[in-house]
Amino acid sequence: MKVLVIGASGQIGAWTVKDLVDHYDAEIIAADLSLERVKKLAQQVGKENVTPIKLDATDPGAVRAAGKGVDVIHNSAWYELNIKIMPVAIDLGVHYSDLGGFYDHTLEQLKYDKKAKDAGVTCVLGMGSSPGITNVCGAAGARKLDSVRDISIYCSWGTKVKSDNAAFPTYSIRTVLDEITQEPGIVENGKKKKVPALSGMTEVLMPDPAGKVVAYYVKHSEPATMADFIGKGTKNVSFRIGFPANDFTTFKTLAQLGFGSTEQINVGGFSTSPKDFITAMYLKSVEASREAGQSVEDFDYFRIDVDGTKDDKDARVTYYVKTWNDLEKGLPSARDTSVPPSIVADWLVKGKIDRRGTLPPEACIEPEPFFRELAKRKILVEEEMQQTKTYY
Ligand SMILES: NC(=O)c1ccc[n+]([C@@H]2O[C@H](COP(=O)([O-])OP(=O)(O)OC[C@H]3O[C@@H](n4cnc5c(N)ncnc54)[C@H](OP(=O)(O)O)[C@@H]3O)[C@@H](O)[C@H]2O)c1
């Protein structure tokens, strides 16, 4: 299998490349803006499988040249690039996946469904942990119920030993800032609507050591697709993050200082935007932390509640998705986002995904085999079912 990974030296992309090589012996074209960074990645993987190339994915001609002859193109760079890369993959007749379109881009990408079908390709939209594993959990829960009312998704992360130090964000600070400053979409009473960022505050019980967390609506792709693709009468879909308290304060301060802005400012004769500046600082620390290794045990958790009815009684199916970093093997907890695209590339090539078009994960991934593949990488999915019993 040959895969073009774009954004390959990023925090998520680098581990996707490693998983593709380690688990499937895949041949990888590792593409990024910086040739130096992907060369370093190829050295770290330490096999002949990885060919590093410099690529600016805003240039469709360059993506076309790099993607010719590959089986799958995976975009692990910014979600804004999905809409530039995916049409090239469809034109080339090559399968495609990405890590999510941040709600609005996902809705745009779905408009390419017919083109993808006509080209005989599958474009899997939002195939990380969330969106990604969370969507598949929603679909798995819906299969166990006769009708679905609500799908409520929660995310939290943190460290085993609580510390006053701010944790390192497990994904790009650019995305975190977008999440907490832009209006989230939810599905309410069967209709998609936008609500204020960080509204919908609620308490939710996550597995230990997270415990009870305060969670807020943030912008995510799941509510863009899950009601439509899961069906069964689904009326409400929401996504909330329960940030660790220290991190939440840090992120809110950065947002209030304007680091989420893309407006150009002049600093010492150079022009840049606060968002580009903080992203560059973040990427520098990602590289340094990868070289230094990890010293703290951290977790990434999701909870997905699917509420509805079974045999005319109220019922709930809950999924817990749990990932810990592995200090001995140097694996980050963020592998829950890096691994799903690797499994999907294998399944696309082996024909285990045979539906064509632009599809979110809930529409094309078989849940139980997928959960078992995740378990091989110690990404643990647990399912609980509760059904109301009445004596009247
Ligand atoms: N679905 C999920 O569960 C999930 C979870 C977390 C994150 N995400 C998404 O995953 C994406 C990547 O996150 P990350 O944390 O890995 O980010 P990251 O560490 O910043 O990596 C992104 C990489 O893409 C490169 N890149 C940027 N523009 C490019 C272009 N035009 N052409 C080629 N490469 C380009 C960046 O290079 P430069 O540094 O030079 O700009 C960087 O190396 C984000 O969009 C995020 O929203 C999804």
Q: Is 222:153 a contact under the CB 8 Å cutoff?
A: yes
- CA 212 to ligand 1 centroid distance, Å: 30
Class of domain 2-128+334-376: alpha beta
- CA 151 to ligand 1 centroid distance, Å: 28
Which residues, at least 6 apart from 43, have a Cβ–Cβ distance to it below 8 Å? none
Specify the ligand 1 atom closest to the Cα of 56: 32
Distance of CA 221 to the CA centre of its chain: 9
**For the chain, which residues make up each domain, given as ranges?**
2-128+334-376, 133-333+379-385
Q: Which residue of 4, 12, 63, 125 sits with most ligand 1 atoms within 8 Å of its CB, as the best mutation to test the pocket?
A: 12
- Enumerate helices (H) and strands (E) in the chain, giving the number of each: 14, 18
Residue 193 CA to residue 200 CA, distance in Å, equals: 13
pLDDT in tens, the chain (392 residues): 999 999 999 989 999 999 999 999 999 999 999 999 999 999 999 889 999 999 999 999 999 999 999 999 999 998 999 999 999 999 999 999 999 999 999 999 999 999 999 999 999 999 999 999 999 999 999 999 999 999 999 999 888 877 666 666 767 888 889 988 999 999 999 999 999 999 999 999 999 999 999 999 999 999 999 999 999 999 999 999 998 888 888 888 999 999 999 999 998 899 999 999 998 888 777 777 666 666 778 899 999 999 999 999 999 999 999 999 988 888 888 899 999 999 999 999 999 999 999 999 999 999 999 999 999 999 999 999 999 888 98
Residue 347 CA to residue 327 CA, distance in Å, equals: 29
- CA 78 to ligand 1 centroid distance, Å: 5
- CA 188 to ligand 1 centroid distance, Å: 31
Q: Is 260:177 a contact under the CB 8 Å cutoff?
A: yes
Q: Which residue of 9, 36, 175 sits with most ligand 1 atoms within 8 Å of its CB, as the best mutation to test the pocket?
A: 175
> Dihedral, CA atoms, 301, 254, 11, 133, nearest 10 degrees?
30
Say yes or no: CB of residue 285 within 6 Å of ligand 1. no
Give the relative orientation of helices 13-24 and 35-45 as an angle to the nearest 10 degrees. Answer: 30
Phi first, then psi: give them for residue 310, nearest 5 degrees: -140, 125
Q: Is 67:73 a contact under the CB 8 Å cutoff?
A: yes
pLDDT score at 368: 98
Can you tell me whether residue 235 is helix, strand or coil?
Answer: coil
pLDDT score at 331: 83
pLDDT score at 113: 98
Q: How far apart are the first and last CA of the chain?
A: 59
pLDDT score at 293: 66
Specify the ligand 1 atom closest to the Cα of 130: 3
Residue with CA closest to ligand 1 atom 44: 78
- For residue 85, give the H/E element and its range: helix 82-92
- For residue 118, give the H/E element and its range: helix 113-119
Residue 336 CA to residue 324 CA, distance in Å, equals: 9
pLDDT score at 294: 66
Amino acid identity, position 366: E
- CA 173 to ligand 1 centroid distance, Å: 10
Specify the ligand 1 atom closest to the Cα of 336: 3
- CA 41 to ligand 1 centroid distance, Å: 15
Say yes or no: CB of residue 33 within 6 Å of ligand 1. yes
Taking residue 236's Cβ as centre, other Cβ atoms within 10 Å add up to: 18
Residue with CA closest to ligand 1 atom 38: 33
Residue 302 CA to residue 247 CA, distance in Å, equals: 17
Q: What are residue 319's DSSP bridge partners?
A: 304, 383
Specify the ligand 1 atom closest to the Cα of 221: 1
Burial 17-29 (b: 16+ CB within 10 A, else e): bbbbbeebebbbb
What is the third-level CATH fold of 133-333+379-385? Dihydrodipicolinate Reductase; domain 2 (3.30.360)
- CA 77 to ligand 1 centroid distance, Å: 3
176: its two tokens: 């975190």
- CA 18 to ligand 1 centroid distance, Å: 16
Distance of CA 310 to the CA centre of its chain: 30
Q: Is 362:225 a contact under the CB 8 Å cutoff?
A: yes
Q: Which residue of 32, 37, 39 sits with most ligand 1 atoms within 8 Å of its CB, as the best mutation to test the pocket?
A: 32
Residue 357 CA to residue 123 CA, distance in Å, equals: 6
What is the pairing mode between strands 313-324 and 379-387?
antiparallel
Residue 346 CA to residue 46 CA, distance in Å, equals: 21
Say yes or no: CB of residue 333 within 6 Å of ligand 1. no
Say yes or no: CB of residue 360 within 6 Å of ligand 1. no
